[in-house]
């Protein structure tokens, strides 16, 4: 018997005071059943246990890209965290951290856009951000995305040591930013 929840049984973690105005929203994405793909969720779970200011909220969005359109509409700042798989022709470096701006995310989506690649049933978070921008609805003034290169995406695997180390560093960095400068 498997003690891990099914992917669609996971409940999103929401930390922060919903009665206070939302300044910063931290969204973790990924599949908790696929090794390093869970790193975004792990980071928001750890941040949710920190003593963050009430205007900071942490949300586990799992693999639901479309949900991000709704979640981010009231935020002034959006911080998104996810795993990155190495490109097919490149040799990845598990644990390497990439920081992307909104413009970089939108240019990547545009570069890889095709009608065949987009399905309402499989919208990625980057496509959701592009969709929100195209629809002209409310969206954060500032968006930052942290991608952590994964090494193992095997079903049932834990985070690899390199990804675990980077996740810990990113939690410390964001906690420091939110409690001292945000």
**Amino acid 21: pLDDT:** 63
**Amino acid 165: pLDDT:** 98
- Burial zone of 64 (CB within 10 Å; 0-12 exposed, 13-18 middle, 19+ buried): middle
Angle between helices 39-48 and 161-180 (to 10 degrees): 40
| Average pLDDT for 105-112 | 70
What does the domain layout of the chain look like in residue ranges? Answer: 12-180
Percent of the chain topping pLDDT 70: 76
| 169 or 62: which leads in pLDDT | 169
132-147 residue pLDDT tens: 777 777 788 899 999 9
**Amino acid 97: pLDDT:** 96
In this structure, whether the domain defined by 12-180 belongs to CATH 3.90.170.10 is answered with no
**Amino acid 11: pLDDT:** 47
């Amino acid at each position: 018997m498997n003690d891990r929840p099914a992917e669609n049984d996971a409940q999103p973690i929401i930390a922060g005071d919903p009665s206070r105005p939302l300044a910063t929203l931290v969204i973790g994405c990924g599949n908790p059943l696929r090794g390093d793909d869970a790193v975004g969720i792990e980071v928001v779970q750890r941040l949710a246990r920190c003593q963050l200011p009430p205007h900071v909220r942490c949300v586990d969005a799992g693999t639901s890209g479309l949900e991000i359109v709704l979640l981010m509409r009231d935020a002034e700042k959006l911080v998104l965290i996810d795993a990155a798989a190495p490109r097919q022709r490149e040799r990845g470096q598990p644990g390497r951290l990439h920081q992307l701006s909104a413009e970089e995310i939108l240019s990547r989506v545009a570069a890889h856009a095709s009608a065949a690649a987009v399905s309402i049933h499989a919208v990625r978070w980057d496509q959701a951000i592009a969709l929100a921008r195209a629809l002209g609805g409310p969206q954060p003034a500032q968006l930052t995305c942290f991608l952590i290169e994964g090494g193992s995406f095997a079903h049932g695997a834990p985070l690899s040591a390199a990804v675990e180390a980077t996740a810990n560093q990113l939690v410390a960095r964001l906690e420091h930013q939110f409690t001292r400068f945000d």
